[in-house]
Amino acid sequence: MAATVIIERHTGTATTDGGTTKTAITSSNARASTSDAPTPGTADPIPIPGAGTNYSYWVSTRLNCTGAPTGTIDNLNWYSDAVSFGTGVTVSGADASTGATVGYRAATGTQGTTGTQLTTGNHTGLDAAPVDVTTLTSGSPRALGGTITATTGRFGDLFVYQFGVGTSASAGTTPANTFTWQYDET
């Protein structure tokens, strides 16, 4: 019958199957912050810089099949609702599966100030350079690798994203945005 699949946020040091801590995505922990906390709430917001860009700690997400499908889950895709995050705010993302620890790398930075910028140089698990996630839409999603058949477990590529806040940003909460995982199951 139908599988049970959840989205998890990975934080902490790297292990063989991602971050040390894996937290199911709920409304309270879909926020990005300037810490590696799995459920930051409104703590450690990204300060507007006087010059340059401040970043959130990158957010690593991955699927976990907790109830096995009868058949196969495949054709994984990730996309956004293409809605702007506001003036001076950009979100970049990329899939990750390269190297050990299934492509997971712990987010780093200066807590309360800025995360380390998400680049292929700083995050060696990325499969490609990050792109503006508003360019990843339902008609042009990021295709992720990975399948799972008739069993449970974490599977597929990670999708890693990061907020960047520039000097022209306005203080306050960014508009709500929707990030989507899509897959096919038999």
Binding stretches for other proteins (CB under 8 A): 1-2, 5, 7, 25-27, 30-31, 70-72, 74-75, 137-140, 150, 173-174, 176-186
Give CA separation, 8 vs 54, 62, 117, 186, in Å: 25, 5, 22, 22
Q: Shortest Cβ distance from residue 182 to other proteins (Å)?
A: 5
Q: Shortest Cβ distance from residue 86 to other proteins (Å)?
A: 12
Q: Which is nearer to other proteins, 55 or 101 (CB)?
A: 55
Q: Which is nearer to other proteins, 104 or 181 (CB)?
A: 181
Q: Shortest Cβ distance from residue 51 to other proteins (Å)?
A: 27
Residue by residue, DSSP assigns 143-176 as: EE---EESS-EEEEEEEEEEEEEETT--SSPPPP
Short-list 134, 48, 129, CA closest to 91: 134
On whether the CB atoms of residues 162 and 115 are closer than 8 A, the answer is: yes
Q: Provide the CB-side half-sphere exposure for 174 (13 A, CA).
A: 23
Short-list 173, 163, 78, CA closest to 116: 163
Q: Which is nearer to other proteins, 4 or 110 (CB)?
A: 4
Q: Shortest Cβ distance from residue 133 to other proteins (Å)?
A: 13
Amino acid (one-letter) located at 34:
T
> Sign of dihedral through CA atoms 5, 156, 22, 47?
negative
Q: Shortest Cβ distance from residue 56 to other proteins (Å)?
A: 12
Q: Which is nearer to other proteins, 72 or 152 (CB)?
A: 72
Q: Which is nearer to other proteins, 7 or 122 (CB)?
A: 7
